């Protein structure tokens, strides 16, 4: 098997890994909603990250102790970006709604290829722009409601979308320079410390003794699965695929969350949501189709050159 075929196979596996990450994140939306109703927003994020940091210190002490200055530097950069994502998301929800934020935040799909073009001076293919456009339109169909008005919370959600696009690009950059598990451990520890300081500054201390078993179980599940596992999978996968691919695939998170919410009876089924979901899937499939067609064209060129 040629190196090119192996590379295509690795890229496909990476994309499917990101689909799995999107599914886990989407499945975690109802759990996150439970935390949002039970704990103040910043403390919900801070406690989740503190638990994640504790588990990472217990599981991977060697990765942390052996980290160098460069590892910490890149991890701090990634953590700072995520702080901006979480803060803009949290305060955006204070003035807006979850459905509007899901739509506006999803605009990172179209921002990511534009930022990649601006930073790396390499124009993404027309296929990727088309896929991002179709996916963004799908998010519009899913999230748009008649009479929707733009307010301050929506502006913060737009800021969140910008930082989310930067996070996808940053994850791709950092994961190629720092080993995935070490990068997850370091940037989660930094993120936990910063979010704890912010939560203590803006919100009252939570009464941990009053937390139910269900609430603690939700925090542990989000810490181990949606944080540690998903970030490790994301960073490993983004070593093999482009940030634009990743952004398009991550748009499935909202779709998976919608499907699970409908299946569990938390939200009613709407044809508008189904149509938007189909468009999102079409956008993701278009990115995969590009790789298949390019691979066949290159194989045909190679065969013709050998003749």
| Phi, psi at 107, each rounded to 5° | -65, -10
Alpha-helical regions (H) of 39-151: 41-59, 61-65, 69-95, 98-105, 108-120, 126-143
When pLDDT is averaged across residues 228-246 and rounded to a whole number, the result is 88
- The three-state secondary structure class of 88 is helix
What 8-state DSSP symbol labels residue 96?
Answer: S
Per-residue pLDDT tens digits for 275-298:
877 887 787 777 767 666 665 555
Per-residue pLDDT tens digits for 124-152:
777 777 887 888 778 777 766 665 566 77
Q: Read off the tokens for 78.
A: 């990634």
Per-residue pLDDT tens digits for 19-60:
899 888 878 877 776 777 788 888 988 999 999 999 999 999
pLDDT band at 271 (very low <50, low <70, confident <90, very high): confident
pTM of the model: 0.81
Start-to-end CA distance of the chain, whole Å, equals 19
Is 50 exceeded by the pLDDT of residue 3? no
Q: Which residues, at least 6 apart from 193, have a Cβ–Cβ distance to it below 8 Å?
A: none
| Phi, psi at 68, each rounded to 5° | -100, 180
In angstroms, the Cα distances linking 53 to 70, 187, 216 are 20, 9, 16
Task: Tell me if 58 sits within 8 A of 289, measured CB to CB.
Answer: no
* Domain count within the chain: 1
Q: Read off the tokens for 289.
A: 């189709």
Task: Tell me if 14 sits within 8 A of 287, measured CB to CB.
Answer: no
- Domain of 83? 3-306
């Amino acid at each position: 098997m040629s190196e090119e075929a192996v590379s295509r196979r690795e890229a496909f596996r990476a994309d499917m890994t990101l689909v799995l990450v999107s599914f886990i994140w989407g499945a975690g939306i109802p759990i996150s909603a439970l935390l949002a109703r039970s704990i103040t927003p910043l403390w919900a994020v801070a406690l989740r990250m503190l638990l994640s940091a504790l588990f990472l210190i217990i599981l991977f002490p060697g990765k942390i102790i052996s980290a160098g200055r460069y590892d910490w530097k890149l991890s701090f950069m990634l953590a700072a970006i995520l702080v901006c994502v979480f803060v803009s998301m949290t305060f955006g929800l204070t003035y807006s709604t979850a459905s509007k934020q899901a739509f506006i935040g999803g605009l990172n799909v179209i921002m990511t290829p534009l930022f990649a073009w601006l930073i790396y001076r390499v124009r993404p293919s027309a296929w990727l722009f088309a896929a991002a456009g179709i996916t963004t339109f799908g998010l519009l169909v899913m999230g748009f409601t008649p009479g929707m008005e733009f307010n301050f919370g929506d502006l913060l959600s737009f800021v969140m979308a910008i930082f989310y696009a930067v996070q996808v690009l940053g994850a791709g950059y950092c994961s190629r320079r720092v080993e995935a598990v070490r990068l997850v451990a370091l940037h989660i520890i930094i993120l936990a410390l910063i979010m704890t300081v912010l939560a203590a500054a803006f919100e009252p201390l939570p009464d941990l003794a009053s937390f139910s078993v269900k609430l603690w179980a939700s925090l542990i599940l989000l810490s181990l699965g949606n944080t540690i596992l998903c970030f490790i999978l994301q960073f490993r996968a983004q070593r093999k695929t482009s940030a634009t691919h990743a952004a398009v695939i991550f748009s499935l998170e909202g779709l998976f969350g919608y499907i699970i919410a409908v299946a569990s009876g938390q939200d009613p089924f709407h044809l508008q949501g189904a149509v938007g979901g189909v468009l999102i899937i079409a956008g993701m499939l278009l990115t995969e189709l590009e790789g298949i067609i390019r691979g066949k064209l290159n194989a045909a060129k190679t065969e013709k050159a050998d003749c």
